[in-house]
Chain A
Amino acid sequence: TQLLEQSPQFLSIQEGENLTVYCNSSSVFSSLQWYRQEPGEGPVLLVTVVTGGEVKKLKRLTFQFGDARKDSSLHITAAQPGDTGLYLCAGGKMNYGGSQGNLIFGKGTKLSVKP
C-alpha cells in the first residue's frame, strides 16, 4: 500500500517554464518534508511544513501543506537546469515502521529542465 502518491512521476520541461508537483494521501501526517536528490547522491532536505495550510517559499520554490495535512504541493517558478533532480515528499507518521514512528516516502517526481 502506497500511503503517499506523488504526481507526475516524470516531468520534462524547458528552462523558464513553471511547474507543480503533487504529493497526496488519504492519511494525516504530523509533518511533511520535501527532499531533492541528484544522481549518485543522497536526498537533501528542502523544507518541512507542519501546520495545515502552511505556505513556505525558498527562492523560486513554493511549498504548501494542505489544510487537512493530507497533501502537499511544490511549485517551481521559472525553472532552471539546476532544478533537475528527483523530488521526494516524506510524511511523518506515528506507528509507521516501529512504535517511534518514522517518515513515509513517496516514489518521487523526476524533473528534467532543458536549457
Chain B
Amino acid sequence: NAGVTQTPKFRILKIGQSMTLQCAQDMNHNYMYWYRQDPGMGLKLIYYSVGAGITDKGEVPNGYNVSRSTTEDFPLRLELAAPSQTSVYFCASSYSTGVAYNSPLHFGNGTRLTVT
C-alpha cells in the first residue's frame, strides 16, 4: 500500500518564487493535514481538511494556501516564498478527526524545502 505520497522530496526556491507541494493518499481518508517541522520545534499544523471541498486554517497558515478538490489529493501552495518558510513539510491523513482515540495520523515522508 502506498499510503500517503508526497512530492517532491527536496526543493530549493528563491525568495519570491512560488510552488505547490503535492500530497496524495489512497486510504480513502476524509481528513488530511499539512504540518511543518522545524529543528527542535516539533510539528506545527498549517491547514487541514475534513473532506473534499472543505479546508480550514491551523496554527500557522500565513503564507500558504490549500485546496481539496478530491478525497485523495491535498496540495499546499506557497505563493511568495520567504526564508522563514524553509522547513520540512509533512502531509498526513486520518480516517476521522485527529482528536479521536481510534484515528491515528498517517504521515508521508516529507518535502524538504529551502528558500534562499
Contacts and interface: CB of A to CB of B under 8 A. Distances in A.
Contacts of A40: 109-110
A92 B109 CA distance: 22
Query: Interface size class for chain B?
Result: 20 to 34
B42 interface: yes
Contact of A42 (B4, B48, B98, B99): B4
Contacts of B44: 105
A106 B99 contact: no
Nearest to A41: B109
B20 to A, nearest CB: 19
B41 to A, nearest CB: 6
Contacts of B92: 42
Given A42-B4, A42-B90, A92-B100, A100 B43 contact: no
Given A42-B4, A105-B42, A107-B40, A100 B97 contact: yes
A73 interface: no
Contact of B56 (A44, A48, A98, A103): A98
B99 A94 contact: yes
Contact of A98 (B35, B58, B102): B58
A90 B100 CA distance: 12
A48 B57 contact: no
Contacts of A105: 35, 42-44
Interface of A: 4, 9, 30-31, 33, 35, 40-45, 48, 50, 88, 90, 92-94, 96-103, 105-108
Interface of B: 4, 33, 35, 40-45, 48, 50, 56-59, 90, 92, 97-102, 104-105, 107-110
